[in-house]
């Protein structure tokens, strides 16, 4: 049985950032991910916002992690080559009744020690002309930003790999190996692995993982699904983040720009007991649409070029701080019932934002537990992002094509993704082995034609680069093959 110091369960943004943080130390680390690729859960289906931190219930772990993490994003995005833009965000009140809510939000912002200011309706309209002219006021949080959420997984994990961390995809945790009430390893569908510590970053399954060790039986994840529309950036140009005045349940349905340039609308928040049911619903879509039009009346359905849905890992943990009546806090703690387990659970919004701070908290928890954490002398914090053809100047594009002709063949016409980039991702440290894996890394197939043009070409490339028949190329792992047989081979 292969032996490690630490095994991380889950390759979402929390697991990946944790792997990177821990890679600083002389520790043998393995990250296991049950899907065919990392970041296939909530990490690639969210609002991609680095929140300012005004919104979480003051005093909670959510509030603390958000506040600690927010300033970390400049450095971490620069070190790791993660697209990030500190754009600021607005909470917009429409109509006279909503204005009162802004006051209490402003107070909460102050309590959370977050830069936040009130601006008038006229000023808000000046900053965002597409807004509903009935805007009555707004709050501005300058420290909010936009990030590429999948890059926020792959960048830290590639950096971790460079610094010695091992990663296994298609590897699902099935049970703990416990001896004398101490975790000594895990069992997976691909064999057993020994370790001294396990970090549970299993997203919507983090409750099931901890229950396997008899930890916190009362803790439960209630998944809530959020649906999103993606709007064509040529139909609507908007680079701000606009929140409505929040409801009790969630931050509300936003209209927001992205690092990619498209405008997104969403998410709603629906109970979704089946953790794998990521369907978009007619009801959800119409709910989002109505809400969005309240903020930006001019958006039309003709601008829609994409839809997706993600699952939030909404937990039922009570905030550990005395006197705070909040029951959906993060779980970031060393397990009590058994030795050698750190649980990171119920990481819904502001989970993406908080990931770098959660990762550092894991380092502290391990240190406190007496784990020997000697810093590697050769730790390299820098991971350089691979070239993105459509982000380069014409001069840079010409140079790139001159260096490697494969960057000269555009495969995804709508997003201008080239063969060179696709091949680079297929052979990267965390290889893209499926169509969706390439899509997450490059935004291929997310444009106007939604992959109609590129799909046959990408399937051919994957087949060629992976040395597999085209009938084995999949969209997102086994069972999602595109092609069933050659045209002329008919079953009798």
Point out which residues bind another protein (CB under 8 A). 229-230, 234, 276-282, 285, 301-302, 304-308, 394, 397-398, 401-402, 405-410, 413-414, 416, 418-419, 448-453, 455-456, 460, 470-471, 474-488, 490-491
Residue 420 beta carbon to another protein: minimum distance, rounded to whole angstroms = 9
Please say whether the beta carbons of 413 and 449 come within 8 A. yes
Q: Which is nearer to another protein, 48 or 458 (CB)?
A: 458
Between CA 179 and CA 339 the distance in angstroms is: 10
Between CA 334 and CA 332 the distance in angstroms is: 7
Q: Which is nearer to another protein, 28 or 476 (CB)?
A: 476
- Upstream peptide bond of 33 is cis (omega within 30 degrees of 0): no
Residue 421 beta carbon to another protein: minimum distance, rounded to whole angstroms = 13
Which of these, 371, 33, 15, 38, lies nearest to 199 by C-alpha position?
15
Q: Which is nearer to another protein, 172 or 416 (CB)?
A: 416
Residue 277 beta carbon to another protein: minimum distance, rounded to whole angstroms = 8
Between CA 61 and CA 67 the distance in angstroms is: 10
427 is catalytic: no
The number of residues in the chain equals 492
DSSP state of 319: P
In SS3 terms, 350-374 reads as CHHHHHHHHHHHHHHHHHHCCCCCC
Q: Which is nearer to another protein, 215 or 264 (CB)?
A: 264
SS3 345: strand
Q: Which is nearer to another protein, 184 or 474 (CB)?
A: 474
One DSSP character per residue, 238-264 reads ---EEEE---SSSS--EEEE-TTS-EE
Q: Which is nearer to another protein, 187 or 448 (CB)?
A: 448
Residue 189 beta carbon to another protein: minimum distance, rounded to whole angstroms = 17
Count of other CB atoms within 10 angstroms of residue 254:
24
One DSSP character per residue, 174-223 reads EEEEEETTEEEEEEETTEEEE-SEEEE--GGGHHHHHHTTT--TT--EEE
Residue 425 beta carbon to another protein: minimum distance, rounded to whole angstroms = 17
Residue 232 beta carbon to another protein: minimum distance, rounded to whole angstroms = 10
Between CA 91 and CA 105 the distance in angstroms is: 9
Between CA 358 and CA 347 the distance in angstroms is: 10
Burial 142-180 (b: 16+ CB within 10 A, else e): ebbbbbbbbbbbbbbbbbbbbbebbbbbbbebeebbbee
Exactly one of 51, 391, 427, 464 is catalytic; which is it? 51
**For 204, left (φ over 0), alpha (ψ -120 to 50), or beta?**
alpha
Residue 280 beta carbon to another protein: minimum distance, rounded to whole angstroms = 5
Q: Which is nearer to another protein, 214 or 478 (CB)?
A: 478
Residue 13 beta carbon to another protein: minimum distance, rounded to whole angstroms = 21
Q: Which is nearer to another protein, 64 or 419 (CB)?
A: 419
| Measured torsion, CA atoms of residues 421, 424, 426, 431, in degrees rounded to the nearest 10 | -120
Please say whether the beta carbons of 429 and 161 come within 8 A. yes
Cite the active site residues.
51
């Amino acid at each position: 049985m292969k032996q490690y110091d630490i095994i991380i369960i889950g390759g979402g943004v929390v697991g990946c950032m944790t792997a990177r943080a821990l890679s600083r130390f002389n520790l043998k680390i393995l990250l296991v991910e049950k899907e065919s690729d990392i970041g296939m859960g909530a990490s690639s289906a969210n609002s991609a916002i680095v929140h300012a931190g005004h919104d979480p219930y003051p005093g909670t772990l959510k509030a603390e992690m958000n506040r600690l993490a927010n300033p970390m994003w400049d450095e971490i995005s620069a070190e790791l080559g993660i697209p990030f833009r500190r754009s600021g965000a607005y909470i917009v009140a429409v109509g006279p009744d909503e204005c009162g809510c802004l006051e209490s939000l402003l107070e909460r912002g102050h309590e959370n020690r977050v830069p936040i200011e009130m601006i008038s309706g006229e000023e808000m309209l000046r900053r965002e002309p597409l807004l509903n002219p009935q805007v009555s006021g707004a709050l501005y949080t300058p420290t909010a930003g936009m990030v590429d959420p999948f890059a926020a997984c792959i960048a830290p994990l590639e950096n971790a790999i460079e610094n010695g961390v091992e990663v296994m995809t298609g590897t699902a945790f099935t049970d703990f190996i416990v001896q004398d009430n101490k975790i000594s390893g895990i069992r997976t569908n691909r064999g057993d692995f020994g370790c001294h510590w396990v970090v549970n970053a299993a997203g919507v399954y983090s409750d099931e993982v901890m229950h396997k060790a008899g930890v916190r039986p009362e803790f439960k994840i209630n998944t809530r699904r959020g649906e999103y529309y993606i709007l064509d950036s040529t139909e609507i140009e908007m680079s701000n983040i606009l929140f409505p005045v929040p409801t009790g349940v969630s931050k509300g349905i936003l209209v927001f720009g992205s690092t990619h340039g498209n405008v997104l609308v969403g998410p709603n928040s629906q109970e979704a007991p089946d953790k794998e049911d990521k369907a978009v619903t007619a009801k959800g879509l119409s709910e989002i649409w109505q809400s969005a039009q309240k903020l930006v009346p001019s958006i039309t359905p003709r601008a829609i070029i994409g839809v997706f849905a993600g699952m939030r890992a909404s937990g039922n943990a009570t905030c550990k701080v005395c006197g705070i009546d909040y029951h959906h806090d993060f779980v970031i703690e060393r397990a009590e019932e058994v030795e050698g387990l750190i649980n990171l659970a119920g990481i819904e919004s502001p989970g993406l934002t908080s990931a770098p701070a959660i990762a550092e908290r894991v380092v502290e928890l391990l240190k406190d537990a007496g784990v020997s954490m000697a810093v590697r002398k050769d730790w390299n914090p820098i991971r350089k992002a691979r070239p993105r053809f459509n982000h380069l100047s014409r001069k840079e594009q010409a140079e790139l094509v001159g260096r490697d002709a494969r960057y000269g063949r555009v495969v995804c016409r709508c997003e201008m993704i080239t063969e060179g980039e696709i091949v680079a991702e297929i052979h990267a440290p965390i290889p893209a082995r499926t169509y969706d894996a390439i899509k997450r890394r490059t935004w291929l197939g997310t444009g106007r034609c939604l992959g109609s043009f590129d799909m046959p070409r990408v399937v051919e490339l994957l087949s060629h680069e992976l040395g597999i028949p085209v009938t084995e190329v999949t969209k997102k792992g086994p069972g999602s093959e595109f092609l069933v047989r050659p045209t002329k081979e008919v079953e009798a």
